[in-house]
């Protein structure tokens, strides 16, 4: 009891409990924070995008109306001079004059022409007075139409001519000037029959508009672009697109489907807003609206622009969250560790108790919680162990006492059964051998014999039961056999008196099966009496083995006054009478087969021995072989009597 079976390790376990709890708390808290964060971010971002959309839309509207205002100014300038032209239709000089006036009066107009359809003006094929601002800022005039420049097939003439409506041309580079991007407003003059006879034009440099567009930056990375009526880029952040791409060709080239869709809408003078998912670039947002002259303008801004600040905030929140969670983790761990402190003390206490110190004081727990309960249970366990050990000591002591007494009883009993062989060495007409093998330390079988008046008195018996009670009964029976046998006249007389003696006052209701006999050593006559015992085997000198026919009477010890009937027989010299108890015939093997009377008889028939000792030895071996290691469940007693 002094060596502990195991020692509870203090290190490691407690730490990991604290850590595990902290991790769980951390994980749950983290998950909750994240979920909340995601929701908040989602809604906040939606609002931001909505706001941006509104903001961009506003800026777009303002810019568009500013541009429209400029375009309208040009249109007005031309249209206001229509009446003047109409009144000067045959005055070549006057017409030149008008073009000059328009150019000089209007800063934004850098060229003006009045192009007549072929053969209209004085039957001349070409007639197109034209004035323009030269590189030196002076105004020059000239005839526009030449052999190399047949203006009737130029878009600026032909389109308003066919449509009978004023038209803004597609933008172009002014070849004469310093690479200025221009557009021309063409205003058809219609005669009384409704046909177009001339087209008034104003050349308008688009630098102002392009600059305005390029300066639109509602957000850091956002920009605006401008496309003409057929989709050609007029202004764009990426100047390589200008004049080379249309919005559709750009969209197809880059694979931006949403841009393509938006482009189609823009070309149809649509107003709209689209989200564009660009591979690897995040989301972009496109807001567009048409201009007065059927061109279209759009503003592009990106996720980062609109949500940039929001992402910064997100970053900060996440950083704070991580910091907070770390603190939470540390705090939880410390707290848990502190609360679990008593466990350390309990562990120490358990180790001490295991070592044998049952009185070791348990740590005090002041709180009324699970720790308290644990402490109380522990204390109860401690008390129980103490008590149990005390009980155990007492029982062990008692058991030892009983066992020692049993050993003494066994010794006494062994002394009561004759064990010296040969018992009558001086006689040579009697071969006696016996063996008594008890099932328990003290058994209930008995055998005994003595010689009186040249007669051999013998008995064998089996007490009902085992252990000390059977042994006591057996001792009484053996004593009675000797005492009564000393004066009995016959076997039946002996048995009757023996039965009376034992039956009287027999409260235990134990009984003995017995076989007693008196062998006349001179004649070979045997008087015998059987009291419920197994009949013995008579082996004649020629080796034949037969069971003795016995009357059963009644077992001894049951009924006081029972008259036992005796029997007699005569045996030849050289015969052996083998007596046994049912421990022999009822010896069991592993499959619950019994050794049986048949086997015993067969053994006796098939074997012959010179001495009883040999016979018994071989028989015991045979029984052992038969039982093959099974526990002996009854006393085995064998007695051989050979008359020589």
Strand order in the sheet with 525-531: 445-452, 455-463, 512-520, 525-531, 567-570
| Residue 110 to residue 130: CA distance in whole angstroms | 11
DSSP run (H or E) holding 525: strand 525-531
Tokens of 528: 């015998």
Q: Binding of other proteins at residue 627 (CB under 8 A)?
A: no
Closer to other proteins by CB, 588 or 622: give it: 588
| Residue 78 to residue 99: CA distance in whole angstroms | 10
Q: Binding of other proteins at residue 558 (CB under 8 A)?
A: yes
Closer to other proteins by CB, 177 or 308: give it: 177
Q: Binding of other proteins at residue 245 (CB under 8 A)?
A: yes
Contact with other proteins (CB under 8 A): which of 47, 149, 315, 380?
149
Instruction: Report the Cα 398 to chain-centroid distance in Å.
Output: 54
CB of 399 to other proteins, least distance (A): 20
Number of amino acids touching other proteins (CB under 8 A): 49
CB of 405 to other proteins, least distance (A): 22
| Residue 485 to residue 210: CA distance in whole angstroms | 150
Please report which residue ranges of 550-611 form alpha helices under DSSP H: 582-585, 596-606
Interaction mask 582-621, other proteins, x per CB under 8 A: ----------------------------------------
Helices 370-416 and 467-485 sit at what angle, rounded to 10 degrees? 20
Q: Binding of other proteins at residue 231 (CB under 8 A)?
A: yes
Closer to other proteins by CB, 308 or 465: give it: 465
Site for other proteins in 256-275 (CB under 8 A): 263-264, 267
Which are the contacts of 392, defined by CB distance < 8 A and separation ≥ 6?
none
Contact with other proteins (CB under 8 A): which of 31, 486, 559, 602?
559
Q: Are the CB atoms for 320 and 313 separated by under 8 Å? A: no
Contact with other proteins (CB under 8 A): which of 51, 211, 253, 383?
253
Contact with other proteins (CB under 8 A): which of 531, 537, 577, 619?
531
Which are the contacts of 481, defined by CB distance < 8 A and separation ≥ 6?
448, 457, 459, 494, 498, 516
Instruction: Report the Cα 454 to chain-centroid distance in Å.
Output: 92
Interaction mask 283-322, other proteins, x per CB under 8 A: ----------------------------------------
Contact with other proteins (CB under 8 A): which of 113, 200, 434, 510?
510
Contact with other proteins (CB under 8 A): which of 82, 91, 105, 155?
155
Closer to other proteins by CB, 91 or 253: give it: 253
| Residue 232 to residue 245: CA distance in whole angstroms | 6
Q: Are the CB atoms for 196 and 189 separated by under 8 Å? A: yes
Contact with other proteins (CB under 8 A): which of 167, 495, 579, 643?
167
3-state class of 506 per DSSP? coil
3-state class of 359 per DSSP? coil
Buried b (16+ CB within 10 A) or exposed e, 64-73: beebeebbee
CB of 188 to other proteins, least distance (A): 11
CB of 621 to other proteins, least distance (A): 26
Stretch that binds other proteins, among 453-461, 472-480, 532-540, 599-607 (CB under 8 A): 532-540
Beta bridge partners of 629: none
Site for other proteins in 537-556 (CB under 8 A): 552-555
| Residue 487 to residue 484: CA distance in whole angstroms | 6
| Residue 18 to residue 40: CA distance in whole angstroms | 32
Interaction mask 458-477, other proteins, x per CB under 8 A: ----x-xxx-----------
Q: What is the bridge-based pairing of β-strands 111-116 and 455-463? A: unpaired
Q: Which residue, 55, 558, 594, 29, is CA-closest to 306?
A: 55
Contact with other proteins (CB under 8 A): which of 277, 326, 633, 644?
633
Contact with other proteins (CB under 8 A): which of 252, 317, 325, 620?
252
Residues in contact with other proteins by CB under 8 A are: 147-149, 153-155, 158-159, 162-163, 167, 170, 173, 229-232, 241, 243-246, 248-250, 252-253, 263-264, 267, 462, 464-466, 509-511, 513, 531-534, 552-555, 558-559, 633
């Amino acid at each position: 009891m002094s060596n502990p079976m195991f020692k509870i390790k203090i290190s490691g376990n407690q730490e990991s409990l604290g850590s595990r709890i902290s991790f769980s708390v951390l994980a749950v808290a983290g998950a909750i924070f994240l979920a909340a964060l995601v929701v908040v971010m989602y809604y906040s971002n939606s609002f931001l995008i909505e706001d941006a959309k509104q903001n961009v839309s506003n800026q777009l509207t303002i810019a568009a109306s500013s541009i429209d205002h400029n375009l309208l100014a040009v249109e007005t300038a031309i249209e206001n001079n229509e009446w003047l032209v109409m009144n000067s239709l045959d005055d070549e000089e006057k017409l030149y004059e008008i073009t000059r006036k328009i150019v000089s009066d209007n800063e934004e107009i850098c060229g003006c022409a009045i192009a007549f359809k072929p053969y209209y003006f004085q039957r001349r094929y070409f007639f197109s007075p034209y004035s323009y601002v030269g590189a030196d800022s002076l105004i020059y005039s000239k005839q526009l139409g030449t052999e190399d420049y047949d203006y009737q097939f130029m878009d600026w003439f032909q389109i308003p001519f066919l449509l009978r409506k004023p038209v803004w041309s597609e933008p172009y580079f002014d070849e004469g000037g310093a690479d200025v991007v221009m557009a021309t407003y063409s205003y058809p003059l219609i005669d009384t029959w409704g046909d177009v006879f001339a087209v008034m034009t104003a050349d308008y440099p688009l630098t102002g508009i392009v600059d305005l567009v390029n300066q639109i930056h509602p957000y850091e990375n956002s920009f605006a672009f401008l496309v003409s009526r057929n989709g050609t880029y007029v202004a764009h952040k990426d100047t390589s697109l200008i004049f080379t791409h249309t919005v559709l060709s750009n969209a197809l080239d880059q694979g931006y489907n949403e841009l393509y869709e938006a482009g189609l809408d823009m070309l149809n003078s649509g107003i709209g807003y689209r989200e564009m998912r660009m591979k690897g670039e995040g989301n972009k947002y496109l807001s567009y609206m048409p201009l007065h002259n059927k061109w279209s303008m759009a503003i592009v801004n990106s996720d980062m622009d609109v949500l940039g600040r929001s992402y910064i905030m997100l970053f900060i929140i996440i950083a704070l969250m991580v910091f907070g969670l770390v603190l939470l983790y540390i705090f939880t761990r410390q707290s848990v560790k502190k609360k679990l402190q008593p466990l350390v003390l309990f562990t120490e206490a358990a180790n001490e108790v295991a070592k044998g110190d049952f009185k070791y004081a348990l740590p005090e727990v002041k709180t009324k919680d699970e720790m308290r309960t644990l402490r109380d249970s522990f204390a109860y366990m401690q008390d129980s162990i103490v008590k149990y050990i005390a009980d155990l000591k007492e029982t062990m002591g008692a058991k030892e006492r009983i066992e020692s007494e049993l050993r003494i009883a066994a010794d006494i009993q062994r002394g009561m059964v004759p064990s010296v062989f040969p018992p009558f060495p001086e006689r040579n007409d009697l071969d006696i051998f016996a063996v008594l093998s008890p099932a328990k330390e003290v058994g209930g079988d008995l055998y005994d014999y003595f010689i009186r008046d040249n007669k051999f008195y013998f008995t064998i018996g089996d007490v009902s039961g085992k252990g000390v009670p059977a042994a006591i009964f057996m001792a009484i029976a053996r004593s009675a056999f000797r005492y009564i046998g000393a004066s009995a006249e016959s076997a039946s007389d002996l048995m009757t008196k023996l039965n009376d003696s034992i039956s009287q006052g027999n409260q235990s209701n134990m009984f003995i099966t017995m076989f007693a006999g008196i062998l006349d050593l001179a004649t070979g006559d045997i008087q015998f009496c059987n009291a419920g015992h197994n009949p013995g085997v008579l082996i004649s000198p020629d080796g034949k083995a037969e069971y003795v026919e016995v009357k059963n009477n009644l077992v001894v010890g049951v009924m006081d006054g029972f008259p036992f009937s005796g029997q007699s027989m005569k045996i030849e010299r050289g015969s052996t009478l083998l007596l046994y108890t049912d421990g022999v015939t009822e010896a069991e093997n592993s499959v619950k087969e019994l050794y049986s009377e048949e086997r015993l008889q067969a053994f006796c028939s098939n074997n012959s021995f010179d001495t009883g000792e040999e016979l018994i030895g071989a028989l015991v071996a045979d029984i052992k072989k038969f039982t093959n290691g099974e526990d002996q469940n009854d006393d085995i007693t064998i007695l051989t009597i050979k008359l020589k």
